[in-house]
């Protein structure tokens, strides 16, 4: 009964256009009243607070701030030039540069929207000037930005790990292979399309001397080096690594590149506070609905239904992927993780699926929702950044969507590949 109340309330509020954070909170409150009356309403503020009362979740504002600092300090431009030096001479050079730059950016930020805002403003106009169709440049940029929340540090992975109570370090290590796999598949596709359409058949050259490119590249790559070595080496936690990354970005931007001043920093902090508020509001409101579902044993009931259908972990994975891809089309990524992780993860564990492996599948599958209509957040940001029509980008997005689905299938059904790095590092 409670699950029905939640689903109906959820659907009605989404149709009415209620902001997703309030959809989560109000659906939980309505379900609480429907199952227990008003006697338990005092739990609402407690669950709102406990939803974000986590040391792990403190990594979110720090990683958001690190991404803002990268864009403001000029580190993003150094990344683009380094990527040009690495892959720019290939056919479809700027397309490959776009993908590689997103991989590098992903190791510092962990958010797709930040990648589009930072790299899209530089690369989309450059690709258009070099003969690419604007809609294709936008679709490639949007699709490549999804690498951001896949490769560590990943904000959705922090949320998922916190919700599931599993190791953030193990999830970060597990995200390396999916992110690189996705980048390779997209580069192959970009090469094929560029050859067919005649995009940049003679490649693209970098700016400046190779010495300057290497020097700036080493400085820019200092941040992911700190994050990776620190977290995976056990030197500090994900939250501490995020704080160190912020300090590094400030020092580099202020004293090396000399692009950060008081005025720029003020705008950076304003943007970071705004984006952090949205993220943590979602997490806190999700605490209400998560508590209601746990108290009503919704996960156990769902498990019994799914196990009665087949009981095979292969069937469960197939059903999960279909469900997650469908939900990703209509719901916010963070909200989906908060709502679905407590339901689906226990079933996966019961079927013998490694919890880190299944959490990776959830993150990768829901990430795809960022580029699928009608709600794909990254698509709308790309439209705003490039001033391109939504329908034009959607028309070009489907081959890249196929790349994402192929990568997801490989991760889901060949777990040894996804878990190889965490196991090699002793995190599993």
User: What does the DSSP assignment read for 278-324?
Assistant: HHHHHHHHHHHHHHHHHHTTHHHHHHHHHHHHT--HHHHHHHHHHHH
Give mean pLDDT, residues 397-407: 95
Answer for the pair 253, 69: CB distance below 8 angstroms, yes or no: yes
Q: Please report, to the nearest 10 degrees, the dihedral formed by the alpha carbons of residues 292, 293, 295, 300 taken in order.
A: 180
How many Å apart are CA 166 and CA 178, to the nearest integer?
Answer: 19
Whole-angstrom CA distances from 100 to 113, 180, 182 are: 17, 10, 11
Q: What angle do CA 346, 347, 348 make, to 5 degrees?
A: 90
pLDDT of residue 391: 86
Give the helix, strand, coil percentages of the chain, each rounded to 5. 80, 0, 20
Contact (CB, 8 A) for 388 and 141: no
| Ranges of H-type helices in 146-205 | 155-164, 168-197
Band of pLDDT at residue 47, cut at 50, 70 and 90:
confident
pLDDT of residue 303: 61
For 104-118, 183-197, 242-256, 347-361, which range has the lowest pLDDT when averaged over its residues?
104-118
The number of helix segments (H) and strand segments (E) in the chain equals 22, 0
Residue 274, classified by CB atoms within 10 Å of its CB into exposed (0-12), middle (13-18) or buried (19+), is: exposed
- Residues 222-255 have pLDDT tens digits of 777 777 777 777 777 777 888 888 888 888 888 8
Percent of the residues in the chain that have a pLDDT greater than 90, as a whole number: 21
Percent of the chain exceeding pLDDT 70 equals 87
Can you give the pLDDT at residue 39?
59
If you search the block for the tokens 């030096």, which residue do you land on? 85
Three-state SS for 189-208 is: HHHHHHHHHCCCCCCCCCCC
Tell me the C-alpha distance between 386 and 118, whole Å: 12
Q: CA-to-CA distance for 256 and 274, rounded, in angstroms?
A: 27
Higher confidence at residue 168 or residue 26?
168
Is-contact 169 232, C-beta < 8 A?
Answer: yes
Residue among 319, 300, 247 at smallest CA distance from 73: 247
Query: Which helix (H) or strand (E) covers residue 119, if one does?
Result: none
Tokens at 404, concatenated: 């994402």
Note whether 268 and 249 are within 8 A (CB).
no
The owner of tokens 């690498």 is 147
Distance (Å, whole) CA 372 – CA 327: 10
pLDDT level of residue 406 (50, 70, 90 thresholds)? very high
Residue 60 pLDDT? 76
- Taking 80 as the threshold, does the pLDDT of residue 188 lie above it? yes
The pair phi, psi for residue 295, each rounded to 5°, is -65, -30
pLDDT digits (tens, 9 = 90+) for 53-102: 766 677 778 877 887 887 788 777 788 888 878 877 777 788 888 898 88
Q: Return the H-helix or E-strand segment holding 18.
A: none
Q: Both tokens of residue 359?
A: 């959490």
Q: Give the Cβ contact number of residue 37 at 10 Å.
A: 9
pTM of the model: 0.80
């Amino acid at each position: 009964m409670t699950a029905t109340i939640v689903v109906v309330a959820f659907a009605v509020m989404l149709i009415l256009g209620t902001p997703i954070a309030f959809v989560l909170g109000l659906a939980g409150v309505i379900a609480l009243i429907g199952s227990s009356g008003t006697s338990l309403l005092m739990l609402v503020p407690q669950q709102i607070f406990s939803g974000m009362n986590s040391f792990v979740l403190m990594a979110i504002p720090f990683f958001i701030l690190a991404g803002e600092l990268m864009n403001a300090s000029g580190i993003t431009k150094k990344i683009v030039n380094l990527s040009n030096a690495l892959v720019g001479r290939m056919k479809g050079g700027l397309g490959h540069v776009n993908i590689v730059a997103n991989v590098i950016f992903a190791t510092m930020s962990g958010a797709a929207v930040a990648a589009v805002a930072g790299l899209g403003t530089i690369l989309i106009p450059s690709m258009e000037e070099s003969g690419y169709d604007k809609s294709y440049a936008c679709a490639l940029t949007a699709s490549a930005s999804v690498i951001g929340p896949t490769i560590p540090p990943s904000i959705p992975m922090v949320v998922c790990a916190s919700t599931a109570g599993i190791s953030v370090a193990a999830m970060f290590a597990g995200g390396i292979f999916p992110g690189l796999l996705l980048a390779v598949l997209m580069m192959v596709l970009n090469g094929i399309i560029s050859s067919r359409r005649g995009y940049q058949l003679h490649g693209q050259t970098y700016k400046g001397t190779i010495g300057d490119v290497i020097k700036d590249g080493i400085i820019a790559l200092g941040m992911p080096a700190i994050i990776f070595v620190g977290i995976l080496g056990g030197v500090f936690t994900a939250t501490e690594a995020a704080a160190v990354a912020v300090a590094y970005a400030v020092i580099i931007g202020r004293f090396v590149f000399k692009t950060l001043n008081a005025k720029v920093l003020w705008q950076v902090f304003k943007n970071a506070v705004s984006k952090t508020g949205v993220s943590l509001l979602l997490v806190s409101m999700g605490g209400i609905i998560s508590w209601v579902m746990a108290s009503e044993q919704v996960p156990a009931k769902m498990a019994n239904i799914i196990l009665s259908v087949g009981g095979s972990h292969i069937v469960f994975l197939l059903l999960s992927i279909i469900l997650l891809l469908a939900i990703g089309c209509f719901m916010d990524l963070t909200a989906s993780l908060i709502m679905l992780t407590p339901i689906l993860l226990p079933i996966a564990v019961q079927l013998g699926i490694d919890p880190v492996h299944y959490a990776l599948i959830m993150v990768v599958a829901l990430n795809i929702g960022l580029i699928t209509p009608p709600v794909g957040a990254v698509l709308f940001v790309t439209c705003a950044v490039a001033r391109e029509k939504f329908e034009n980008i959607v028309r070009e997005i489907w081959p890249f969507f196929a790349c994402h689905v192929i990568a997801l299938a490989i991760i889901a059904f060949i777990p040894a590949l996804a878990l190889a790095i965490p196991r090699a590092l002793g995190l599993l």
